Homo-oligomer: A and B are copies of this chain.
């Protein structure tokens, strides 16, 4: 894989489905994940081992993991909020667990019911429990680019949290713009600061398109050396604070941008567009992705008759 390859981690079945009011049937989730793997993803965040009461849409995480075909070359990830979730994830034979704590105290209390320090103390226990298990680990700094309650977060606090993750032996780090507050200059600065600590092979950027800047932020991060990005098919994901706002950055829009820029992704874009066009059937509404509506730039149209 060339050094300029852009790696997309597909998160639609986790970050997308978790906010949907409908329960996507387990068999449909499995079919979609297998189709995504076949389209070439090296990383898929499949589901989340959270409380089924808190997130009923993902209550079938274990069934989904047992139902999917494990494609060689694809890392199947699960989000894990706490030690109990880690146990369930290990039992489900996930390839990687993704831990999450917000840098914002207020956001972590709202999201996790505890302080960030207590979340990270839980990560230490999880790291003890997975030692020797055939599983890799990643941890996410949520609200790294701003908190919807507190606003801007000090860069030094974000960096300290990254360093704490690394000191626990966690393999990879994600900087998450949880509610779409980042801007390209801020992204360039934070990536430049964190990349030397983590390395491009272990750093993931997670952007939401809440304010329309998702792909501009990807461009800034890529130009600063980041190579791995979360994205959701169709731009699923939404935002709890912004009814009608878009969600995660859209996988097929990101892949189209990369390919048009000459940046390889290893992904089959026409296959992704086909899968995205099937999403409204699964979630019951239109999805925000643009390329699935407009086609690729190279999908030309017949000239009008009067132009002949």
Contact = CB atoms under 8 A, between A and B. Distances in A.
A44 B116 CA distance: 48
A306 interface: yes
B257 A183 contact: yes
Given A290-B209, A290-B245, A294-B242, A260 B183 contact: yes
Interface string A150-170: 110000000000000000000
A243 interface: yes
B239 A294 contact: yes
A297 B184 CA distance: 13
A202 to B, nearest CB: 25
B257 A184 contact: yes
13 contacts: A107-B307, A110-B303, A110-B307, A149-B301, A151-B298, A180-B290, A183-B297, A184-B219, A186-B260, A213-B215, A242-B295, A244-B293, A246-B290
A106 B303 contact: yes
Nearest to A222: B184
A262 interface: yes
Please name the 3 residue pairs, one residue from A and one from B, whose CB atoms are nearest each other, closest first: A183-B260, A212-B253, A242-B294
Given A216-B215, A245-B294, A149 B286 contact: no
Contact of A149 (B216, B245, B302): B302
A69 interface: no
Give the interface centre of A107, A219, A260, A294 by most chain B CB atoms within 10 Å: A294
Nearest to A294: B242
Interface in A236-258: 239, 241-246, 250, 253, 256-257
Interface string A132-158: 000000000000001011110000000
B113 A216 contact: no
Interface residues of A, number: 59
Given A244-B286, A290-B245, A300-B149, A261 B212 contact: no
A88 interface: no
A289 interface: yes
A233 to B, nearest CB: 13
Given A211-B256, A239-B294, A244-B286, 19 more contacts: A109-B306, A109-B307, A110-B303, A110-B307, A149-B301, A149-B302, A180-B290, A183-B257, A183-B260, A209-B290, A211-B257, A211-B290, A212-B215, A212-B289, A213-B253, A215-B215, A216-B219, A219-B220, A241-B294
